[in-house]
Structure 1
Amino acid sequence: MKKAIWLVLLIVTVGLLAACNSPQSSGEAGANNVSASKEEVENFPEKSITILVHTSAGGPTDLMAREIAKAVEPILGQKVLVENRPGGSGATQMAGIQSAKADGYTLGAMTPSQIGLIEGTLKDQYKLDDFSWISRTQIDPYVIVVNKKSPFNTLEELIEFAKENPGELKIGGYGAVGSGHNVAWNILAEKAGIEATWAAYESTGDAVTAILGNHIDVANSNPGQVSQYVESGDLKVLGVMNDERLEDLPEVPTYKELGYDVDTSWTQFRGIFGPAGIDPAIQKKLSDAFAEAMETEGYKEYMKKTQMVQGSMNNEEYTEYIAKQSELTKEWYERLGVE
C-alpha cells in the first residue's frame, strides 16, 4: 500500500516538474495580450499614448511621428507623446514595443528597417506575428541623383555607360548591401542588366553630401533629401522609382516610363505598429484615427513640404502589405547573400 502511494506521489511530482520546465506555450508567450471589454473599447483612449521612434530626433521618421501625433491628438482626445529609442538600427525600439502591454497605449514608428531586422539579424528573436501592424502613413520614393557636373543627363545615358563599363560606377546610399536603398538600386540594376559598386553611408544625408562633393558617381536617395540641391542646380534627378511622376518633380520620368518595369512595391514607407495582441477593436479604432489624421490640413501641408507621397493603409491592408514586404525582403536577401 505504502509503495503504491509513493509511486503516485512520484508520478505527480515528475509531472509538475515537467510542466514547469517545458517551453512557453503560445498562451504564455502572448502574456501581454489584452482582451478589452466593450466599455474599454468605447472609452479608448483614457490616457496618453506613446509612439516610440527608432531614430534620433530630427530625422524624417521622427518628423513623421511628431506630425501624425499632432494631427491625431484632437481625434483621439488624448495626448500622443513621441519618445526616441535609437540603437541597434531599430532593435532597441523593437524590444520596447514587444515587451509593452498590448493595450494600444504603446506604439512605434516604423520603416522597412524593422522588416529587415525580423528577416535578417534578429530572425531568431522576432517574427511578424510578434507585432500588430496598425497603419501605413506615407511613401518616400527612391530617386537616382547625380552631381550637376556629371556627364549623365538621363537615366538612359547612365545605364548605357554602366553596360559598357561593368562595375565602374560607384553608387552611394544609406546602409550596407541589403538595406532598403541598396535593394532599390539592385532592382533597377537587374532590370537594366548592369553592375555597379555600392558605397554604404550611415545616413541618406551622408550619401547626398558625397554626391555633392563628387565622391561617388550616383546617389540612391529620396526627394525630400535632395530637393533644395535640385532647386539650386547642384544636383540632377534622373529617375524615380514610383508608379507615377512626382508632383514636385514633374520633369523626372519613372523607371517604368523608360522601359524598366521594376517592382515599385519596394519603397521607403513609414507607418505605425505595436505589440502583438492588441484587441482588434482597438487596433481598428487607432487605424481609423490615423487615417482621419492624414486627411487634416496640417498633415497634408507637412506631406507636401517634405515631398512625401500619400500612402495611407488601414490595419488590415497594412498587415497584408507587411507580409508581402517580408517575402520580398527574404527574396532579395537570398539574392544578395545577406545573412
Structure 2
Amino acid sequence: MKKRFLLATMALVLSLSIMGCSKKEATPAPADGASGAWKFERPIEIVIPFGPGSGTDTTIRAWAPLMEKELGTTININNVAGAGGVQGAEFFVNQPADGYTFAMYTPSHVIAAVDGTASFDILNDTMPVVRLVQDSNIVLAGKHVPYNNLEELIAYAKANPDKKPTLGMMSINGIDGAAAKQLFDAAGIEVQFIPYASGAEANAAIMGGHTDMVLTSPFDGNAYLESGDMKAIVLLAEERATNLPDVQCTGELGYEAYIGPWRGIVAAKGTPQEAIDALEAAAVKVNEMKEWTDWKETVGLNDRPGFATQEEFKTIWMEYYETMKALRGK
C-alpha cells in the first residue's frame, strides 16, 4: 500500500513538472520592440521635401550628425524637392513604414493638407515625431523703395492704391504666402506676391530693382542688411530678434502676424511606435547638447521656443491646421 502511494505521488510530481515545462516552452517570445527598447540596426533615411540650401535642408544637416552619435547609426538625407514640398511628401509616404524612413515637414505641409493638394491624406497619414525649431520671417526691401518700416509701407500703400508694392517669396501657396497674407490682412493693405524658384533668385530681383520686397529668414537676410543693400521693414515675431535688435517686430506694433516656418520630424502612418519613441528620445538628448544650442544661436533659432515632444507636436500640428483653414477661408 505504502509502495503504491509512493509511486502515485512520484507520478503526480512528474506530471506537474512536465506540464510546467510545456507551459514555459509554449510562451511566445516578445516581438521586436515590445519592451520599448527599439534599436536601429541599419541606416535611417530622412526625406527633405525641399532642395539643398533651404532652411529645412540646413537645419537637418546640422542636426543629423548629432543624432547619428546618439543613435549609433547613419542618417542618409534625401532631398526630393518640388511643388512646395508636396512632391517630397508623396515620395515619402510611398516608402515602407518600417521605422527606418522619416521626413522633415514644415507648415507648408499643413497647408497642403488644408488645400488637398497632395495625392494622400497628409493630415491623418502623418505621425508627428518631434519639432526641432521655430523660425521667423522678415520682410526686407530694396534701397529704391520710398518706405523704411512697416508703418511707412502701410501709409505708402494707402496713399498710392494704383502702385501696389511687390513681395518676392519662394512658396506663395505655402508657409511664405500664408505668413505674408496674415501680415498684410492685419495691416489692411494689398501687396502683390511674386513667386521665385529660390531665395537667391528673389534676392537678385530686389538688387536689380525688379521687386520691391522679399520675405526671407532673419539669418539669410542679415548679410544684406549689414551690407546696406536692403533695409528691414518688419520681423514677423512676438519679440525682436537678438541678432537684429534694431528691427521692429509685429508683436510690438500690435499686429497678430507671427506665422513662421517651424521644422519637425514626422513618420508615416503605420510606422512602429517603438521606432518613433526611440527617435524622439534621442532628439530630446540632442536638443540639450551644447553643439546644437550653439548652432541655433548662430542662425537666430533660439529666440522663439522651438523644440516640441511627440505629444506637443501633435497639438501644434492640429492647431496650425485650424489656423491655416481660417486664413484660407475653408
Fold-level similarity (TM above 0.5): yes
Paired-residue identity, %: 27
C-alpha contact (below 8 Å) 1:173/1:182 kept by paired residues: no
Counterpart pick for 1:144 among 123, 136, 139? 139
1:236 positional shift: 1.2
In structure 2, what is the Cα distance between the partners aligned to 1:315 and 1:36? 22
Corresponding residue for 1:183?
178
Question: What residue in structure 2 maps to residue 56 of structure 1?
Answer: 51
Q: Is the counterpart of residue 114 in structure 1 residue 139 in structure 2?
A: no
Q: Which residue identity lines up with residue 218 of structure 2 in the other structure?
A: P
Write the mapping of 1:296-315 to structure 2, written as runs, cut at 5 A.
Answer: 296-309=289-302, 310-315=305-310
- Alpha-carbon shift at residue 137 of structure 1 (Å): 1.1
Cα shift at 1:139: 1.9
C-alpha displacement of 1:108: 0.7
**Cα-Cα RMSD:** 2.2
- The separation in 1 between residues aligned to 2:183 and 2:85, in whole angstroms, is 27
Deviates more, 1:122-131 or 1:108-117: 122-131
Count residues with an aligned counterpart: 298
Q: Does 1:235 align with 2:230?
A: yes
Give 1:130 shift. 0.6
Q: Which amino acid aligns with 2:250?
A: Y
Deviation at 1:66, TM superposition (A): 1.6
178-187 or 237-246: bigger deviation: 178-187
Task: Determine if the alignment matches structure 1 residue 273 to structure 2 residue 266.
Answer: yes
CA shift, 1:177, in A, is: 4.3
Q: TM-score, normalised by structure 1?
A: 0.81
Q: In the TM superposition, what whole-angstrom CA distance separates every residue of 1:66-110 from its partner, at most 9, and x where no partner exists?
A: 211111111112111212222343333223322333332100122
* Cα offset, 1:134, TM superposition: 0.8
Identify unmatched segments of 5+ residues in structure 2. Answer: 1-30
Q: Is the counterpart of residue 330 in structure 1 residue 325 in structure 2?
A: yes
Q: Which amino acid aligns with 2:199?
A: T
Aligned counterpart, 2:42:
47
Q: Identify which range, 171-180 or 183-192, moves more after superposition.
A: 171-180
Hey, what's the Cα distance between the residues in 1 that align with 2:38 and 2:312?
Answer: 25
Change (3 A) 1:179 1:102: closer
Q: TM-score, normalised by structure 2?
A: 0.83
Higher mean C-alpha deviation, range 221-230 or range 299-308 = 299-308
User: Does the 8 Å CA contact 2:107/2:175 hold for their aligned counterparts?
Assistant: yes
> How do 1:33-112 residues align onto structure 2 when only pairs under 5 Å count?
37-39=33-35, 41-112=36-107
What are the residue-to-residue correspondences of 1:152-191 with 2, within 5 Å?
A: 152-166=147-161, 168-175=163-170, 177-191=172-186
Correspondence for 1:30: none
Cα offset, 1:51, TM superposition: 0.6
State the shift of 1:119 in Å: 2.2
**Cα deviations by residue, 1:127-165 (Å, 9 ceiling, x for unpaired):** 312111111111221111112343222221111111222
Q: In structure 2, what is the Cα distance between the partners aligned to 1:85 and 1:127? A: 17
Asked if the contact 2:90–2:120 (Cα under 8 Å) also holds between the matched residues in 1, the reply is: no
